[in-house]
């Protein structure tokens, strides 16, 4: 079950939230745990046991670390931590990377080992990172061990952020697990954010994603430089609005439940460098790798050479986290090389350049990066990269002209929506209403702005629902994560 489905919107969500609001506060964690297990089992009934095992495993590890802390046994605390990290990574690697490793060995040594055909449990990368960070934080004394296994299970299995993030570390919500308050303002804000995220996914990402699918499936003989760049830009918009849309829906539902999940995107396409881009893109993943990989490896405390090595490890792992394929590893290393070049030579020079040059530089590299990310076949990737630079293809052809002409309105909307322009327009409208009606109409400006936002959200919800009912293109990009 995914958020952008009629089943979720018209059945699961109303029933779960209705029960959640009607039941006493002390029962809400149980309601949320049961509904989350149903949500996951709906699409992955075979693999729910893996998530349950991870929950029990790290709950036990947290309690054991707490026990050995009381005994002042540092050796046993470390032993439990090692078991926790090894167990979590072992489960993740087995299900996500076993077949990838076998295929790589067969390709490298011309062997014929049979692949196991292991299906990837949806969301395993997200909940494994969450449970693993919990035991590490208990070991470091950042959080206290959770004593109620049902409450801990609710944290791990919580359906809003289970399959597509953001990565919610235990310390983010530890206080809210037992003591959270629901207010009408938070619920209204959460509903609005959920609907905006749904619109990003269904109205924007799905529509431009169909263009990428069409162009990427073309024979090389039908491609042109303009068509290749149009397809790459289409995928650049698709993955942003798809991923940030899911994050918005998750954060919105969190607010509706009384939780404050961390922000995951901050207008990454307005960045003026790749360094800035990765501060704005998938923020919770970047923070996770920084906190649990980069800093433990030594960070920048052991000299430049060691820092470069640490960053190499982080970016190789970042690529692998996104999928079991060499294109993901290359994608991670691609950004590692650019980040190192920026760090060593370019960042100070960017400050002297006009913003437009920095923006263009960053966007070109980002778009090329997404092509590497999207193409898991090296032959296809090579042909597409050649098309981007004009090797063996014309500059433009009739197919590219048609695709561009028919998608100009959508592209304009996507460009505007990926910047802070909508926020500025919203702020401008609010200021005008407050200025005019608060003075002349007894303070009705705030009320009018509330209704304007409400109508806007209703329109987005109706359009999104209509597109889903019509059975239009609605991919799920996170099966590889």
Distance in angstroms (rounded) separating the CA atoms of residues 455 and 438: 20
Which token pair is 261?
């999940």
| Closest of 245, 221, 218 to residue 231, by C-alpha | 218
Place of tokens 């959080």: 143
Please, is 270 exposed, middle or buried when counting C-beta atoms within 10 Å of its C-beta (0-12, 13-18, 19+)? middle
Give the Cα separation of 388 and 129 in Å (integer): 36
> Does the bond joining 190 to the residue before it have cis omega, within 30 degrees of 0?
no
Question: Is residue 282 among the annotated active site residues?
Answer: no
Would you state the structure tokens that stand for residue 149, as one six-digit string? 């296994």
CA distance 316 to 294: 12
Contact 158, 239 (CB under 8 A): no
Q: What is the CA radius of gyration of the chain?
A: 24
d(CA 473, CA 210): 7
d(CA 392, CA 388): 10
In the set 172, 282, 322, 407, the catalytic residue is 322
User: Rounded to whole angstroms, how far apart are CA atoms 39 and 8?
Assistant: 9
Q: Which of 150, 155, 121, 120 is nearest to 135 (CA)?
A: 155
The pair of three-digit structure tokens given for residue 220, joined into one six-digit string: 């090389």
CA dist 284 and 318 (Å) reads: 12
* Residue 152: partners with Cβ closer than 8 Å, 6 or more residues away: 55, 58, 59, 62, 146
The span from the first CA to the last CA of the chain, in angstroms, equals: 16
Task: Give CB contacts under 8 A, 24+ apart, made by 322-329.
Answer: 322/373, 322/480, 322/481, 323/376, 323/480, 323/481, 324/96, 324/97, 324/99, 324/100, 324/120, 324/480, 325/100, 325/376, 325/480, 326/104, 326/378, 327/372, 327/373, 327/375, 327/376, 327/378, 327/381, 328/373
Q: What is the largest CA-CA distance in the chain?
A: 81
Q: Which residues are catalytic?
A: 322
């Amino acid at each position: 079950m995914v958020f952008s489905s009629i089943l979720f919107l018209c059945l699961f969500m109303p029933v779960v939230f209705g029960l959640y609001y009607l039941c006493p506060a002390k029962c809400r964690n149980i309601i949320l745990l049961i509904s989350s297990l149903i949500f996951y089992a709906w699409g992955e009934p075979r693999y729910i046991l893996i998530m349950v095992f991870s929950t029990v495993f790290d709950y036990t590890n947290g309690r054991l670390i707490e026990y050995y802390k009381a005994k002042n046994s540092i050796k046993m605390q470390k032993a439990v931590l090692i078991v926790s990290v090894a167990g979590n990574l072992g489960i993740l690697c087995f299900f996500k990377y076993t077949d990838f490793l076998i295929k790589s060995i067969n390709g490298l040594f011309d062997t014929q080992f049979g692949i196991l055909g292991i299906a990837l449990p949806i969301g395993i990368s997200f909940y494994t990172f969450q449970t693993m960070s919990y035991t590490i934080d208990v070991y470091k004394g950042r959080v206290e061990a959770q004593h109620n296994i049902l409450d801990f299970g609710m944290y791990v299995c919580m359906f809003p952020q289970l399959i597509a993030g953001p990565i919610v570390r235990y310390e983010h919500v530890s206080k809210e697990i037992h003591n959270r308050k629901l207010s009408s303002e938070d619920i209204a804000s959460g509903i609005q954010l959920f609907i905006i995220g749904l619109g990003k996914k269904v109205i924007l990402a799905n529509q431009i994603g169909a263009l990428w699918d069409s162009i990427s499936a073309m024979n090389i003989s039908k491609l042109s430089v303009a068509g290749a760049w149009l397809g790459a830009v289409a995928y650049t918009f698709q993955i942003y609005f798809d991923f940030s849309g899911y994050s918005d829906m998750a954060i919105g539902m969190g607010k509706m439940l009384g939780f404050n999940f961390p922000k995951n995107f901050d207008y990454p396409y307005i960045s003026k460098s790749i360094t800035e881009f990765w501060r704005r893109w998938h923020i919770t993943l970047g923070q996770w790798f920084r906190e649990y990989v980069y800093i433990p490896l030594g960070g920048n405390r052991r000299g430049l050479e060691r820092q470069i090595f640490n960053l190499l490890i982080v970016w190789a792992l970042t690529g692998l986290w996104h999928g079991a394929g060499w294109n993901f590893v290359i994608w991670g290393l691609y950004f590692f090389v650019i980040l190192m070049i920026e760090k060593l030579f370019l960042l100070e020079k960017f400050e002297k350049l006009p913003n437009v040059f920095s923006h263009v530089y960053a966007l070109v590299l980002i778009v090329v990066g997404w092509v590497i990310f999207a193409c898991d076949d090296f032959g296809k990737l090579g042909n597409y990269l050649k098309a981007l630079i004009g090797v063996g293809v014309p500059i433009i052809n009739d197919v590219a002209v048609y695709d561009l002409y028919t998608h100009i309105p959508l592209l304009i909307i996507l460009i505007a929506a990926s910047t802070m322009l909508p926020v500025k327009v919203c702020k401008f409208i609010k200021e005008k209403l407050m200025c005019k009606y608060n003075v002349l109409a007894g303070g009705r400006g705030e009320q009018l702005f509330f209704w304007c936002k409400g109508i806007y959200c209703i329109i987005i919800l109706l359009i999104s629902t209509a597109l889903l009912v019509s059975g239009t293109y609605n991919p799920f990009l996170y099966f590889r994560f």
